[in-house]
Amino acid sequence: MSREERTSHKNAPVSPGNWMWSIILSYIPGVNILFYIITAIGSRKTSKRKWAAAHLLWCLIIAAILVGVYFLFKDTVTAFLETCKDFFLSLQVKD
């Protein structure tokens, strides 16, 4: 296979079915991060690789923000979670 053929294959459009499976896998918690990593590293299609890398970057940014918010408002978050726990425990049916 010549270099031009390999380049055109990498830049060939990704099929709608391939995108559908990619989006479905990206909705499954836990699987999505693993899928993004594998696709960002090993995809043959340039557009798919860049898409996965961008999603992985967003996941990392959001995780960093959540950790930062937790440590900034640790007492408030802990009190809120304790209140939620008490609320849901009060909803339990008592025999």
Residue 21, domain member (yes or no) = yes
Q: Using CA atoms in the order 59, 74, 81, 60, what is the torsion angle rounded to 10 degrees? A: 0
Total structural domains in the chain?
Answer: 1
Task: Return the amino acid letter for 26.
Answer: S
Q: Using CA atoms in the order 14, 20, 21, 24, what is the torsion angle rounded to 10 degrees? A: 140
pLDDT tens figures, 11-48: 788 899 999 999 999 999 999 999 999 999 999 889 99
Rg of the chain taking only CA atoms, in angstroms = 21
pTM of the predicted structure, to 2 decimals: 0.68
Distance CA(32)–CA(38), nearest Å, equals 10
Residue 95, domain member (yes or no) = no
Residue 50, domain member (yes or no) = yes
Mean pLDDT of 72-88: 93
Residue 36, domain member (yes or no) = yes
Residue 95 has pLDDT above 90, yes or no: no
| Domain housing 36 | 3-90
Share of the chain above pLDDT 70, in %: 88
Residue 29, domain member (yes or no) = yes
